[in-house]
């Protein structure tokens, strides 16, 4: 089955399709007839067009109507929640809905599931990452759209807002890798909850002091405008060299009511490079019929070892404590 390059902008879509020697399909997201006609010729959709708050659900509904699998690379909590709300409809249609098949959230979701296996009694999960990359224009657009929103954690199984920049901790990822990190509304607050059912979850990203201050001040209109301009100007995406050679570090820890703990670190290729490999691996598995129907997380669909099949991924269990 050959890929079809699809999108809303005819000039951009057709130019990209020509450069890749592939066919093109152009349709607006609000034209269900045109969308369904395009989907009828496909086995599944891999949606890479963010912000996914605008593109995901129209495509999901189209996939449900035409009984086609859906995959995307979102990291947006509310998009995950909206898609998971369509689980029963996906089961009835006999399809899989798989949001988050990129760096958001394949490595961290598989890490969370792995940690749950190490400590089945876990009641708290902490995830953190340090990514060696540069924001793409699409990621920047999502960040700008959500900059005014509060931070988020999960407490007692419920998503709970916190002031932006208010939760800071020092991460010790082993082997001398220490970094300051700030809690962010990472997609794992939606996915890890479903993959592990651990009720308390916090997600952190490595940040500089300037970044942390910027988030705290982001609700001041003048400063928010300056931050938006800066992000637009600097978000060019990673270079080819950085995609080839960049590395990212993830760390996770679980603990239970008895004080037992387990931690694991994971190294991966550069986030955008990993996204390509993870999303294509998910597409291959779905086209082969190797996934349950319904709305799934990556680790629920393919297991905690899924990420370990991607070249360059390394995982190391750190010492347990309190046993």
Beta strands in the chain (DSSP E): 4-7, 23-26, 44-47, 69-72, 96-98, 124-131, 151-155, 158-162, 168-172, 178-183, 200-206, 247-255, 261-269, 294-295, 314-317
Q: How far is CA 103 from the centre of its chain?
A: 6
| Greatest C-alpha distance within the chain | 61
Q: What is residue 217's predicted lDDT score, i.e. its pLDDT?
A: 58
151: phi then psi, degrees, rounded to nearest 5: -70, 180
265-to-40, 57, 100, 262, 320 alpha-carbon distances in Å: 42, 34, 20, 11, 13
Distance, CA of 166 to CA of 155 (rounded, Å): 16
Task: Decide if domain 106-270+306-317 falls under CATH 3.30.360.10.
Answer: yes
Q: What is residue 81's predicted lDDT score, i.e. its pLDDT?
A: 98
Cβ count within 10 A of residue 144: 17
Q: Which two tokens stand for residue 322?
A: 């309190």
Residue with token string 């390394």: 314
Q: What is residue 269's predicted lDDT score, i.e. its pLDDT?
A: 96
Q: Using an 8 Å Cβ cutoff, are 36 and 15 in contact?
A: no
Q: Under CATH, domain 4-102+274-302 is a member of which superfamily?
A: NAD(P)-binding Rossmann-like Domain (3.40.50.720)
* pLDDT, one tens digit for every residue, the chain (323 residues): 789 999 999 999 999 999 998 999 999 999 999 999 999 989 999 999 988 999 999 999 999 999 999 999 999 999 999 999 999 999 999 999 999 999 999 999 999 999 999 999 999 999 999 987 666 566 655 555 555 667 899 999 999 999 877 899 999 999 899 999 989 899 999 999 999 999 999 999 998 655 655 565 556 566 566 666 656 666 566 788 888 888 999 999 999 999 999 999 999 999 999 999 999 999 999 999 999 999 999 999 999 999 999 999 999 999 776 54
The boundaries of every CATH 3.40.50.720 domain in the chain are 4-102+274-302
Q: What is residue 165's predicted lDDT score, i.e. its pLDDT?
A: 78
The boundaries of every CATH 3.30.360.10 domain in the chain are 106-270+306-317
Q: What is residue 80's predicted lDDT score, i.e. its pLDDT?
A: 98
Q: What is residue 166's predicted lDDT score, i.e. its pLDDT?
A: 85
Residue 108: is it exposed, middle or buried by C-beta count within 10 angstroms (0-12/13-18/19+)? Answer: buried
Q: Which two tokens stand for residue 186?
A: 């990472």
Write down the H helix ranges in 41-105: 52-66, 77-84, 87-93
Q: pTM of the entire structure?
A: 0.89
Distance, CA of 166 to CA of 182 (rounded, Å): 8
């Amino acid at each position: 089955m050959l890929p079809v390059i699809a999108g809303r902008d005819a000039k951009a879509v057709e130019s990209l399709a020509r450069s890749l020697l592939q066919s093109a399909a152009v349709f607006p997201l609000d034209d269900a007839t045109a969308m369904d006609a395009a989907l009828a010729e496909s086995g599944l959709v891999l949606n890479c067009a963010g912000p996914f708050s605008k593109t995901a659900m129209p495509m999901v509904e189209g996939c449900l109507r035409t009984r086609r699998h859906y995959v995307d690379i979102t990291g947006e909590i509310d998009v995950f929640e909206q898609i998971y709300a369509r689980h029963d409809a996906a089961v009835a249609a006999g399809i899989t809905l798989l949001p988050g098949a990129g760096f958001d959230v394949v490595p961290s979701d598989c890490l969370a599931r792995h940690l749950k296996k190490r400590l089945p009694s876990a009641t708290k999960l902490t995830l953190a990452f340090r990514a060696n990359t540069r924001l793409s224009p699409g990621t920047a657009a999502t960040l700008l759209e959500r900059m005014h929103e509060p931070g988020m954690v999960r407490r007692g199984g419920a998503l709970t807002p916190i002031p932006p920049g208010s939760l800071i901790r020092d991460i010790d990822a082993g082997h001398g890798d220490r970094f300051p990190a700030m809690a962010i509304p990472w997609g794992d607050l939606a996915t890890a909850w479903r993959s592990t059912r651990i009720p308390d979850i916090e997600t952190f990203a490595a940040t500089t002091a300037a970044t942390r201050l910027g988030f705290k001040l982001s609700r001041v209109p003048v400063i928010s405008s300056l931050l938006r301009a800066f992000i637009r100007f600097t978000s060019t995406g990673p270079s080819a060299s950085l995609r080839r050679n960049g590395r990212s570090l993830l760390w996770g820890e679980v603990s239970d009511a008895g004080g037992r703990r387990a931690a694991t670190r994971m190294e991966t290729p550069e986030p955008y490079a990993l996204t390509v490999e993870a999303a294509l691996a998910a597409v291959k598995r779905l086209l082969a019929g190797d996934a349950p129907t319904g709305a799934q997380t990556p680790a629920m669909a393919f297991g905690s070892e899924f990420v370990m099949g991607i070249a360059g991924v390394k995982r190391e269990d750190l010492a347990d404590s309190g046993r």
